[in-house]
A = this chain, B = another copy of it.
Amino acid sequence: MKIINERDLPNIPWEDRPAGENRPVWRYSRNPVITRDAVPNCNSIFNSAVVPFGDHFAGVFRCDDTSRRMQLHAGFSADGLKWEINPQRLTFDCPDPEIGNFVFGYDPRVVWIEDRYYVSWCNGYHGPTIGVAWTCDFQKFHQLENAFLPFNRNGVLFPRKIGGNFAMLSRPSDNGHTPFGEIYYSESPDLTYWGRHRHVMAPVDNSWMYTKVGAGPIPIETSEGWLLIYHGVLTSCNGFVYSAGTALLDLERPWKVIARSRHYILAPQTLYECVGDVPNVAFPCAALCDAATGRLAVYYGAADTVTALMFGYVQELVEFTKKHSLV
């Protein structure tokens, strides 16, 4: 297995696998890395996206304020652990006020494609849909057209064009606490018009993801296929439980699933995952990968309240996915 198109990132957050641990990923021992009140007047900080930025790291953070408005803030960090998050929500430049008018924004993803960073997020426009913007510096953000009609969530761009087009995964939804969700793939020549929609994957009966599934961090390109970390949801008698799993998608036709692990890699089991604004949520949104070692640091929202980290190796996750594959 070879990791493709990722840089060496020796300075990403990391802890070695604890002795005796045989799970494919392990939690950071000092979780959560970002507490709910790390930004003044914030209710919670979670489901946030980070990327390498020069020698350091930058990110877009979901910061719900104390009116529980869902907003995005930019932030910077030298080590990926201690973050300076802008106390003001980020604003978007947008030529069309119909689109640029901010209603709410949440669950961002950030990816570098070719020459700039792109942000995609759940954007309020007569319901949730996928907002898209680009930035070079995490200071100035240029908002493009929404990718899709409402209702949609979890729009995740691929880190390179596929077949000459930008490519995005998303999860069509309804306008509430959607009790269904499948992952689709779409393409765009220009980030304005989207099409060639393909179904990627559905929930699985009698499993940790029987209610809905949605893409998580930016997919990681490997010689075995795109490594996709995604969230799956089951519905207990006391509500949704969000866990994380993995799949491998075909490199050039990413709507083809090569392998998909029957087992989750992480489910909410610690106090900070089980107790908070929404109990029992582990929701991965971003991953830093060191190409040289295959080390992976995955940021995930915990209990819709704080931001946590888990660690693993790309090669092990690829193996795990193939070994326990449903496909």
A binding-site residues for B, Cβ under 8 Å: 22, 36, 40-41, 43, 65-70, 98, 103-104, 124-127, 129, 145-152, 170, 172, 174-175, 177, 180, 182, 184, 186-190, 192-199, 202, 206-208, 234-241, 262-264, 267, 269, 271, 274-280, 304, 324
Contacts and interface: CB of A to CB of B under 8 A. Distances in A.
Nearest to A235: B177
Given A69-B206, A238-B279, 6 more contacts: A67-B263, A68-B208, A148-B197, A177-B236, A274-B276, A277-B280
B145 A263 contact: no
A151 B264 CA distance: 28
Contacts of A192: 195-196
Contacts of A267: 43, 66, 68, 277
29 contacts: A65-B263, A66-B263, A66-B264, A67-B263, A67-B264, A68-B206, A69-B207, A126-B184, A126-B199, A126-B202, A145-B196, A145-B197, A150-B184, A151-B172, A174-B180, A177-B236, A177-B237, A187-B193, A188-B195, A189-B193, A190-B193, A192-B195, A237-B239, A237-B278, A239-B239, A274-B279, A275-B279, A277-B280, A279-B280
B280 A208 contact: no
Q: How many copies does the complex hold?
A: 6
Contacts of A262: 67
B280 A238 contact: yes
Contact of A263 (B41, B152, B172): B41
A199 to B, nearest CB: 4
B241 A277 contact: yes
A285 to B, nearest CB: 17
Q: For A69, A148, A184, A238, which residue has the most chain B Cβ atoms within 10 angstroms?
A: A238
A274 B197 CA distance: 38
A127 to B, nearest CB: 8
A186 B274 CA distance: 40
Contact of A239 (B40, B193, B238, B274): B238
Contacts of A234: 68
Contacts of A41: 263
A121 to B, nearest CB: 15
Contacts of A240: 237-238
